[in-house]
């Protein structure tokens, strides 16, 4: 069976360094044969092993004042290049720490299967950082979204909630241990975060990075816009005005350099 992996890139936030590392991590953690397709608006700098395809066309105005990644609605198109059947979507800013093979054999190939979202423990919410679906299965979602993108975004806020609640036939979820959230499930609580680096949970195959922190921040330590800061610099900054809000929130927003991220997030 050909294992089909896809990702999507638009704009300049991520680009080649993320795409190329993602491909390398996939290649190291999958049993061939496999394909790796990136739907992108710019192929420059992307390694030749990646099958670059144009972004699926979609005529809509992006919703405003929403945290959801609504450009992912392009993935809900009736066709995705020349791909057929189940595809495994991966966000560009995740880290692969184990074999991906079981993501292709788990459950029914005709089902939509998402990672679990630990940010909402009391809501059965999927996480679209890692999810598998048959090409064309989600076209009804695209139809609903395009009828009024702003209204859909206002109601659901995040595209993953929209997918979870409206996917035809419902959704299944991958086992909890396979996909872990870096900030919620790898970083240690305060004050342990000041002394010890984030941990890699046992059994994790993929670690996702929602919320602004991405692998480069974890490798350097510190925090977003404070990359590489020592503990002394972090504590000194407590007396200053900062973008983190309260001092309590600021104290929690610190991590030691994370060696296992550096070990995995590389070409």
pLDDT digits (tens, 9 = 90+) for 169-193: 999 999 999 999 999 999 999 999 9
Q: Is pLDDT above 70 for 241?
A: no
Distance CA 173, CA 261 (A): 25
What's the whole-number average pLDDT of the chain? 94
**Among 64, 81, 65, residue whose Cα is nearest residue 8:** 81
| Alpha carbons 152 and 159: distance in angstroms, whole number | 9
Tell me the residue ranges of DSSP E strands in 44-158.
51-54, 86-90, 95-96, 112-116, 126-134
Q: Are 86 and 2 in contact (CB under 8 A)?
A: no
- Please tell me the pTM assigned to this model: 0.95
Give dist(CA 200, CA 230) in Å, integer.
22
Q: What is the pLDDT of residues 20-54, one digit of tens each?
A: 999 999 999 999 999 999 999 999 999 999 999 99
Place of tokens 């480069």: 216
Crossing angle of the two packed helices 139-147 and 159-166, in degrees rounded to 10: 120
């Amino acid at each position: 069976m050909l294992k089909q992996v896809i990702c999507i890139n638009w704009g300049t936030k991520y680009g080649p360094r993320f795409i190329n590392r993602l491909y390398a991590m996939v290649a190291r953690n999958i049993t061939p044969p496999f394909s790796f397709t990136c739907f992108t608006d710019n192929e420059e700098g992307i390694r030749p092993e990646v099958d670059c395809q144009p972004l699926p066309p979609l005529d809509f105005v992006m919703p405003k004042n929403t945290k959801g990644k609504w450009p992912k609605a392009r993935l809900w198109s009736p066709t995705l290049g020349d791909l057929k059947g189940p595809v495994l979507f991966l966000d560009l800013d995740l880290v692969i720490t184990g074999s991906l093979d079981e993501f292709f054999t788990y459950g029914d190939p005709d089902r939509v299967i998402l990672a679990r979202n630990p940010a909402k423990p009391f809501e059965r919410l999927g996480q679209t950082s890692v999810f598998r679906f048959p090409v064309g299965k989600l076209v009804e979602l695209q139809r609903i979204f395009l009828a009024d993108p702003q209204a859909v975004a206002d109601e659901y806020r995040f595209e993953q909630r929209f997918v979870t609640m409206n996917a035809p036939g419902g959704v299944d979820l991958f086992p909890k241990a396979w996909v872990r959230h870096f900030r919620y499930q790898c970083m240690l609580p305060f004050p342990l975060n000041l002394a010890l680096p984030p941990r890699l949970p046992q059994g994790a195959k993929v670690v996702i990075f929602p919320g602004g922190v991405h692998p480069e921040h974890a490798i350097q330590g510190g925090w977003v816009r404070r990359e590489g800061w020592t503990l002394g610099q972090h504590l000194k900054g407590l007396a200053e005005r900062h973008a983190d809000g309260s001092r309590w929130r600021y104290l929690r927003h610190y991590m030691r350099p994370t060696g296992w991220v550096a070990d995995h997030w590389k070409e």
